[in-house]
Amino acid sequence: MKLKDKVAVITGGGSGIGRAIALRFAAEGARIVIAELNEASGSETAELVRAHGAEGFAVTTDVGRSASVADMFRSIDERNWNPDILVNNAGNAGQGLTPTHEVTDEMWDSIIDVHLNGTFYCTREALRRMLPRGTGAIISLGSVAGLSGLPGAASYTAAKGAVIAFTKGVAQEAAPYGIRVNCIAPGWVETPILNSLPDAMRPMMTEMTPMKRIGTPDEIASVALFLAGDDSSFVTGQTISPNGGMYR
C-alpha cells in the first residue's frame, strides 16, 4: 500500500474528483478526512471510505471561510491525527459562463473565495502542522483554464491561474523542510460542475480534446496518488495537466 497509515485531508471530497481521490487513497491505506460543505455528501463519502476498510470521517467545512477551515483542522488535532497529505480540491462553477462585463462582485467573490482563498486557508493550516514534522505533500487542483484561459469564465480562470502560481511559490518555501507542493490542472472531467454549463457545450468539449472524450474522476485520482506518494519524491512546484491533449 502506497499510503499506509498516512492522514489525507481532502476538501470537496463529497463528490466528483474529491470523492474519487478519497476512495483511491483509502484503498492505498490512508486515513481520510473529508472536508465538505454539503454535510450529506461528505458523510456518504466517509461511509464509502470505511467500506474500503480505511478509517475516515467527514467535517462540514466552508473552505472560503478562514474560521471554518481552522475548526476543521482542530477537529483533526483532537483525534491526534497528523496531516501528511492535503488535497485542495473544493470548488464550484459559480456563474457558469458569463461575460466579464456582466460579472457582479458577488459572482466574482464566490469563485475566488472557494478556489483561491480556500486553497490558501487550508494550505496555511496544513503547513503549520507539517513544518514541525519535516514531511508532507500538498496537492492543489488547478485547471487547464488556468493555463490557457476560458472565455466567459474570467473569475474561474483567474482563480485557477492563481492556484498554479501559489503552488510554485509555496513549493519553494516548503521544499527545504521536506514538504512537496504540486498542482493538478485537469481538462474537461465528468463532474457535477459540468452540470452548470449549457448542454450544447458537451460536444464542443469532446471536439476540443484530441482524445475525443471527457476525462473521468478516477483518472485524476491516479495523478493525485502519484503526487501524494513516494513515487514523486523528487517532484515539487510542478503542474501536471491530465487533459487528453487539449493544451500543449
Q: Mean pLDDT, the chain, as a whole number?
A: 94
Q: Rg of the Cα trace of the chain? A: 17
pLDDT above 90 covers what percent of the chain?
85
Please give the positions annotated as active site. 156
pLDDT value of residue 191: 84
pLDDT value of residue 247: 62
pLDDT value of residue 196: 66
pLDDT higher than 90, residue 95: no
135-175 residue pLDDT tens: 999 999 999 989 988 888 899 999 999 999 999 999 999 99
pTM score of the predicted model: 0.95
CB atoms within 10 A of CB 229: 18
CB 117 within 8 A of CB 147: no
pLDDT higher than 90, residue 201: no
Q: How confident is the model at residue 203 (pLDDT cuts 50, 70, 90)?
A: confident
CA distance 141 to 114: 12
7-239 CATH pick, 3.30.1370.10, 3.40.228.10, 3.40.50.1100, 3.40.50.720: 3.40.50.720
Question: Mean pLDDT over residues 187-203, rounded?
Answer: 78
9-61 residue pLDDT tens: 999 999 999 999 999 999 999 999 999 999 999 999 999 999 999 999 999 99
pLDDT value of residue 78: 98
Show the cell assigned to 196: 452548470
CA 133 to each of CA 55, 83, 88, 209: distance values in angstroms, whole numbers, following the listed order: 22, 10, 20, 42
Segments making up each domain of the chain, as ranges: 7-239
φ, ψ dihedrals at 88, nearest 5°: -85, 90
